[in-house]
Amino acid sequence: MSATPPSAVGTASPDPRSSTVVAWAEQVSALPMEAEGFLTHLSVERGRSPLTISAYRRDLLVLCGFLGNRGNHDAASRFR
């Protein structure tokens, strides 16, 4: 009986250091106003740490870059 090697097991999210993910994030110069409002809400009203806000901002930049790469250049509509 053979065990499945760890590299063959799926992961929940892509490696944030991969070249594709970095390229998606670099395609976006600024987050939509709605996303910035969400980050402000998390910081001010929910008291999330600056590191959490930074991680969320990075993930949202990747998401917007991904959507733009797929032809959806109006990523702001995804936050409404």
How many domains is the chain partitioned into structurally? 1
Q: What domain range includes position 63?
A: 16-75
Q: Is the pLDDT of residue 10 over 70?
A: no
| Residue 23 belongs to some domain of the structure | yes
| Residue 50 belongs to some domain of the structure | yes
Q: Of residues 16 and 5, which shows the higher confidence score? A: 16
| Residue 32 belongs to some domain of the structure | yes
- Rounded Cα distance between 49 and 61, Å, is 18
| Residues with Cβ within 8 Å of residue 15, at least 6 apart in sequence | 21
Q: Of residues 7 and 63, which shows the higher confidence score? A: 63
| Residue 11 belongs to some domain of the structure | no
Q: Is the pLDDT of residue 50 over 90?
A: yes
| Residue 44 belongs to some domain of the structure | yes
